[in-house]
Structure 1
Amino acid sequence: MKNLFPRLCLAVIVLNSAAACSRAQPDSKSLFNGKNLHGWHADVPAMDTDTTARMPFVVRDGLLVSLGTPGGHLITDGTYSNFRLELEYRFAGKPGNCGALVFVSTPRALYDMFPKSIEVQMMHTNAGDFWCIQEDIVVPDMEKRRGPKEKWGVNGDKLRRIPNLTDGSEKPVGEWNKLTIECLGNSIKVWMNNDYVNYGYDATASSGHIALQSEGSEVEFRKVQLTPIKKLSDS
């Protein structure tokens, strides 16, 4: 019995530790099942009136593909807060423009096209920039990076772009890039191929849908993975 009691205590400690680890590391999930666009809906203004307009988001060879035209957004049905989003993407041919949007709410809030959100840019050579779309965010060295304060804004001809911190983090065209976006509260951190490329805080939103763009260039996605982040205050 003397030897059995310490073993039982150790077993209880191990089980409790395993349960704590399970609670501390929520399960991640793929937002793309590789077969269809279940869990997403498209908002493509051209399709409202043009019956011949094609759907710019398709599944091809197990990849989620943004065809680039007509312009629009593929939006998650669900809303999310406190998460890490991992995207693996490449330009299928000529590189160009695309974006991943977080904290998405009101559709077509800008130029009758872009939903209210914070965009994490995927445009070739500019991946990791922030674009403010009827929402705002603060970054360190704000005036140096965004321009004169009196010209800041979230719509129209205002300075909505906040450039990323590094250059040269993208892979050559045709190779797969890994874009990681971490949203915790109203802050956003961005990594491109594991390089830390942007950070913003005091965003005017902290939850919403997630969206991918169709904006001029064909882009293939092979991974769209979301992992919840458990805040310390929730434990």
Structure 2
Amino acid sequence: MSKSRLVLISGPAALLVATSLAWAAGRSDADGFTPLFNGKDFTGWTVPQGDGGHWKVVDGMIDYDAQSESKGDKNLWTDREYGDFVLKLDWRLKEAPFINKNVPYILPDGTHAKDVHGKELKLALPDADSGVFLRGDGHYQINMWCWPIGSGEIYSVRMDPKTSPEVRAAVTPSHQADKPVGEWNHFEITVKGKTVKVDLNGKTVLAGATIPDMPDKGRLALQHHGGKNAAGEWAGPPSLVQFKNIAIRELK
């Protein structure tokens, strides 16, 4: 009969174990971040009604195949609302099988480049599409996609005719910081008051966009995009995407 032994762990290994236990229990870590995803199930999230298992947890990640069978909203929402916060998450586009023939050439001020005849320039590129909805509204979405402008922009605000030139420029990424399709990216999204700052892979792509009509609080969501037509072909850039290490620190 074997005897049980008490093993004492110290140093970095002890910190790693403590951090892992805190994460699993849903407690805040040393930096004040609380996990939003436990790596096992959708506790704390609302899966679309009638989804059919297309939003799922695979190997500790949230995995989506862009084919939710829900008749209503197909996005994955948090149960809780949030006001001011810093959100961290890792994400990757698994593949980009759809060729988008209408990708615009976006200028630093957020407008679209045109040719000498005044016609918008369009690029045909492999594309996939997802994002993070802020404060309960898809209008305030931090994009994830394959466009040359890069991920991190707030597309709906940039494209809104009512958006001022100053805000349009502010919600346009200052540069492209994405890693290639299939590789993991890291977002750090800071929302304070009506201002949004976005860091992508350690680089600031939105330095601080102040959006006057942004709600004070609301739920977060991971976006559904795309779908297949009757022939079984992708009819738009699909959300073939995975997420992990999702954590939030609420600001006071």
* Same fold by TM-score greater than 0.5: yes
Q: 1:91, 1:218 within 8 Å by CA — same for their partners in 2?
A: yes
- Provide the C-alpha distance between the structure 1 equivalents of 2:213 and 2:246, rounded to a whole number of angstroms: 23
CA distance in 1, matches of 2:191, 2:62: 23
Return closer, same or farther for 1:195/1:203 CA change in 2, 3 Å cut-off: farther
Runs of 5+ consecutive residues of structure 1 not aligned to the other structure: 1-24, 48-52, 105-114, 147-161, 231-235
> Does the 8 A contact of 1:56 with 1:72 survive in 2?
no
Contact 1:66 1:219 in 2 (8 A): yes
Hey, which bits of structure 1, 4+ residues long, moved more than 4 A?
Answer: 136-140
Secondary structure, aligned partner of 2:128: coil
Tell me the equivalent position of 1:206. 216
Deviation digits for residues 149-173 of structure 1, max 9, x if unmatched? Answer: xxxxxxxxxxxxx532212x01122
Out of 38, 51, 54, the residue aligned to residue 52 of structure 2 is 54
1:21 matched residue in structure 2 = none
For the Cα contact (< 8 Å) 1:85–1:224, is it kept in 2?
yes
Identity of aligned residues (%): 26
Aligned mates of 1:58, 1:97 — CA distance in 2: 18
Partner of 2:194: 186
How big is each residue's C-alpha offset from its partner over 1:87-110, in whole Å with a ceiling of 9 and x where there is no partner? 101112335100101111xxxxxx
Measured after TM superposition, the shift of residue 140 of structure 1 is 7.0
> Which aligned pairs between 1:1-235 and structure 2 lie closer than 5 A?
27-43=32-48, 47=50, 54-70=52-68, 72-94=74-96, 96-104=128-136, 115-125=137-147, 126-132=150-156, 141-142=166-167, 145=169, 162-167=171-176, 169-198=177-206, 199-201=208-210, 202-215=212-225, 216-230=238-252
Please give the per-residue CA displacement for 1:162-204, whole angstroms capped at 9, x wherever unaligned.
Answer: 532212x011222110011101111111111111111311343
Which segment is superposed worse, 27-36 or 195-204? 195-204
Tell me: higher relative CO, structure 1 or 2? Use CA pairs within 8 A at least 6 residues apart: 1
SS state at 2:155 partner: strand
Q: For 1:176 and 1:213, how far apart are their aligned partners in 2?
A: 17
Change (3 A) 1:203 1:180: farther
- Supply the RMSD in Å over aligned alpha carbons: 2.6
Q: Which residue identity is paired with 2:166?
A: D
Change (3 A) 1:139 1:182: farther
Amino acid at match of 2:175: T
Query: Structure 2: any 5+ residue segments left out of the alignment?
Result: 1-29, 97-126, 226-237
Shift of 1:229: 1.9
User: SS of the residue aligned with 2:239?
Assistant: coil
- Answer yes or no: is the 8 Å Cα contact 2:130–2:144 preserved in 1: yes
How many residue pairs end up in the alignment? Answer: 170
Distance 1:229 1:138, change over 3 A: farther
- When the two structures are superposed, what TM-score results if normalisation uses the length of structure 1? 0.64
